[in-house]
Amino acid sequence: MAEAAENLPPIEELFNPHSPEYLDNPVPQCLALTRRAPIVWYEPWQAWIVTRMPDIMACWKEEPLSSDFYDWEFAPPRPPEDEWSNFERAMIGHSLLADHDHHRLVRRVTAPAFSRNVVDAIQAKIEPDVQRLFDELGQPQTFDYKAMIAEHIPFISITRMVGIPEKYWPDIKQVIMTFTAAWNPTISDEERQSAREDSNRAIDIIKQVIAERRAAPEQDDFLSTLLKIEAENEKFVEGDIVTLILALIGAGSDTTLVAQQWSVYALLKNDRDQIAKALASPEAFSNAFCEINRWGVSSKMGFARYAPRDMEFMGQQLRKGVMVLMMPHLKDHDPEYYDNPEQFDVEREFNPDVMFGYGPRYCIGAALAKRQLYLTISELFRRFPNVELAEEPERDADDHNAVVFKRLLLKTNV
């Protein structure tokens, strides 16, 4: 077996998510990576890649690895607590990277903030803004969905959902598009530092909004719900509120923009009978979006974890600080995982649904993300029932974490 492994080509010759070939069709490279081994060393990123879902799910559930960016061997030195900026207080001190017990506490006490009633109320807040976007668009012969609609949705969704007053919108808009870069280990130090500076400015605004909301509570938004939870749970503090809002910004910023593009593209690229099935209800779209995400394979990197100490993991000896990437998208066109993976079927069953993670780190805002997608995509097809792709969109190689389009030109047929 060792001799056979030595005769295999280096994995970087088979897998390069920044290559034109990956942008055009990531499936062959993803399958090549998952076929190699359950865990693979990837030299360009100085990281181990976990390639198969049972192992990824076990890691998510049992949490043997660290989520703390400062545990990465190439991270800048962890600053002492008396030198923490707002960013470090949020990312080190509270629920995103907190100890497991505190993280579970935060998830338990904040569950009411993500209930069906809250999601319905947030939809009601966002809906007029989405309709206004389409009103301003009018009825053009063609338009770029990415520039005219998709790029505006993350900002609308997050500000309305959290309850950030409009007077703060100009100052907080930048971070909504850059926050996820603040802990991405594959980009340059300069890019990451710029994103952190954006985040620090945003946290100053969030703290100001919290102070204003304490003086005028009982407003119908996510922040007011969190303040009620804080009042009833002594271990849930303002830092946890800030961190949860940042988590929603991270989940709802560039990821929402990617999801908007791929949702429209997938529904227009495949049989049109899938559109009505996907948009039949919020629940139907929730499942359909899992299929959209599976069919599109838009991910490049996956979820970063770090070895908290020298340790054995999946039969490999990991040095302290080495990065381990969970890449669940590698399974998405694997016939050993999905029947007929080349077929686009919005009614495909996902059991379990692992698109937003699994176990204690399952994305707490998943329902919110799917609902704003459903709202916007439904409005598109209500306004333009005969819409179609005006061209095959060109992939944009510059995105740090996903396969995206330079533009998404649609022909309305009005």
pLDDT of 112:
73
Q: Which of 29-43, 92-106, 186-200 has the highest mean pLDDT?
A: 29-43
User: Distance between CA atoms of 72 and 349, rounded to whole angstroms?
Assistant: 36
Are the CB atoms for 153 and 257 separated by under 8 Å?
A: yes
Query: What pLDDT, on the 0 to 100 scale, is given for residue 173?
Result: 72
Distance between CA 379 and CA 151 in Å, rounded?
Answer: 16
Predicted pLDDT at 141: 97
Q: Over the stretch 101-148, which tens digit does the pLDDT of each residue have? A: 777 777 777 777 777 777 777 778 888 989 999 999 999 999 999 999
Is pLDDT of 7 > 70?
Answer: yes
Give the pLDDT of residue 265.
97
Q: In the chain, pLDDT over 70 holds for what percent of residues? A: 90
Q: Where are the domains of the chain?
A: 2-411
- Output 364 or 66, whichever has higher pLDDT: 66
Please report the pLDDT score of residue 241 as a whole number. 86
For residue 4, pLDDT beyond 60 = no
pLDDT in tens, 141-178: 999 999 999 988 877 877 777 788 888 887 777 666 67
The token pair at 303 is 């979820």
Q: Is the pLDDT of residue 310 over 90?
A: yes
- Per residue in 186-223, pLDDT (tens digit) is 677 888 788 888 888 888 888 999 999 998 876 677 78
Which DSSP symbol is given to 334? -
Global confidence as pTM: 0.85
DSSP letters spanning 174-227: HHHHHGGGGG-TTS-HHHHHHHHHHHHHHHHHHHHHHHHHHHS---SSHHHHHH
Mean pLDDT of 375-403: 93
CATH number of the domain located at residue range(s) 2-411 in this protein: 1.10.630.10
Report the pLDDT averaged over residues 334-342: 94
Amino acid at site 55: D
Q: How many helices (H) and strands (E) does the chain have?
A: 18, 11
Mean pLDDT of 362-391: 89
List of long-range contacts for 211-220, beta carbons under 8 Å, 24+ apart: 212/165, 213/163, 219/163, 220/121, 220/125
Beta-carbon contacts of 320 under 8 Å, excluding residues fewer than 6 positions away, are 73, 307, 308, 309, 310, 311
Q: Distances from the Cα of 413 to the Cαs of 33, 135, 278, in angstroms?
A: 42, 17, 21
